[in-house]
Structure 1
Amino acid sequence: MGLYPDDIEAQASAIITTYRDRGWLIATAESCTGGLIAGALTEIAGSSAVVDRGFVTYTNQAKMDLIGVSAATLDAFGAVSKETALQMAHGALMRSGAEVAVAVTGIAGPGGGSAEKPVGLVHLALKTRSGLVDHREMRYGEIGRDQVRLATVRTALEMLAAAAQTPA
């Protein structure tokens, strides 16, 4: 067994194979997962043919500086929002050579939640150069920081797998 649970490694391996066969590159923009999605993908031998780059943008300033999330979006909707996740995916795509970018922002806990944005809330977004846009709002609940982060990796990998089934 590697660093990640077997199901995550199996999904990451399938994604690496599928994307390599398509000649597609992936970029990630991660907040609450801190690079775990890129880490899961790069756990797989041969991933250098598929993983272009990953942005770990934990602070709002990093989101603005590295991937172009607007201050207005952060002010209006907050870091943990559909709008921010979509801008993160867009920014990662535009600042990379990738065909597909996936982005995540959420509240892993144990603190930091509110009634409107509880612990376990994660927004995931995916964007492709061909115009596909996917967004998922996940409410994993207070299952523990590690489990929220791993659940987010699983959902992001599901989104990447689904995107690979679309026309180029």
Structure 2
Amino acid sequence: MSSPAAEVVRLLTVRGGTLAVAESLTGGLVAAEITAVPGASKVFRGSVTAYATELKHRMLGVDEALLAARGAVDPEVAAEMAVGVRKALGADWGIATTGVAGPDPQDGQPVGTVFVAVDGPSRITGDSAGGGKVEALRLNGDRAEIRMESVRSVLGLLLRELTGEQTGNERAQDTERNGGF
């Protein structure tokens, strides 16, 4: 079986889609994972490693008041990072990571608190206005393990969006909308 990054590159290549990455705690690891795949240049637009909080606002357009109120480790910040990098780099899809890899807590959040996000064309309408998802993670391990699991998680989230894989909850809602079938 191919790696998640290879599968992302394959799916985006087949569909003619592009990807941009915004990273904080992963510090470029997501971009490195994607660019290690042969043919990634067909789909990968680039990345912004906005490690410093103020860069999340300046480079990615994350709301300054949100950052001041909640800090950088927040689900809305992750969502805005994905939207911002998608817009800034002109990509069909944007993904983002923000969180606490350790060794110390940050913004009142314990080590292992991570938020990963994806923003892309709306699955329902197909329109480019965007449809985003954020996943909250509570990861165990040392700094390196938390960072690598964050990479796997954000690529997994993107893959689920690209393949249309749904959680049980979304399936239940779809069943209800479709008359119970």
Question: TM-score, with normalisation over the residues of structure 2?
Answer: 0.82
What displacement does 1:113 show? 4.6
The match for 2:153 is: 155
What displacement does 1:17 show? 0.7
The one-letter amino acid of 2:151's match is V
TM-superposition CA deviations, 1:112-166 (whole Å, max 9, x none): 357x51100001111113332111000003x000000000000011011112124
The match for 1:112 is: 105
Q: Matches of residues 46-125 of structure 1 in structure 2 within 5 Å? A: 46-113=39-106, 116-125=108-117
Q: Does 1:135 align with 2:134?
A: yes
**Inter-partner Cα distance in structure 1 for 2:43 and 2:161:** 14
**Inter-partner Cα distance in structure 1 for 2:68 and 2:117:** 19
Structure 2: 5+ residue stretches without partners: 123-129, 165-181
**Inter-partner Cα distance in structure 1 for 2:76 and 2:8:** 26
**Inter-partner Cα distance in structure 1 for 2:111 and 2:106:** 5
Give the match's secondary structure for 1:95.
Answer: helix
**Inter-partner Cα distance in structure 1 for 2:160 and 2:47:** 20
**Inter-partner Cα distance in structure 2 for 1:68 and 1:132:** 17
**Inter-partner Cα distance in structure 1 for 2:3 and 2:81:** 26
**Inter-partner Cα distance in structure 1 for 2:160 and 2:91:** 16
**Inter-partner Cα distance in structure 2 for 1:101 and 1:73:** 20
The match for 1:4 is: none
Q: Check the 8 A contact 1:89/1:101 in 2, yes or no.
A: yes
The match for 1:3 is: none
Q: Does 1:30 align with 2:28?
A: no
Q: Check the 8 A contact 1:25/1:51 in 2, yes or no.
A: yes
Give the match's secondary structure for 1:164.
Answer: helix
Q: Check the 8 A contact 2:24/2:98 in 1, yes or no.
A: yes
Pairs aligned (count): 157
**Inter-partner Cα distance in structure 1 for 2:104 and 2:89:** 33
TM-superposition CA deviations, 1:46-96 (whole Å, max 9, x none): 100011110100011111111111210101111000111111111111112
Identity fraction in percent: 34
CA RMSD across the alignment: 1.5
**Structure with larger Rg:** 2
Give the match's secondary structure for 1:29.
Answer: strand
Q: Check the 8 A contact 2:104/2:110 in 1, yes or no.
A: no
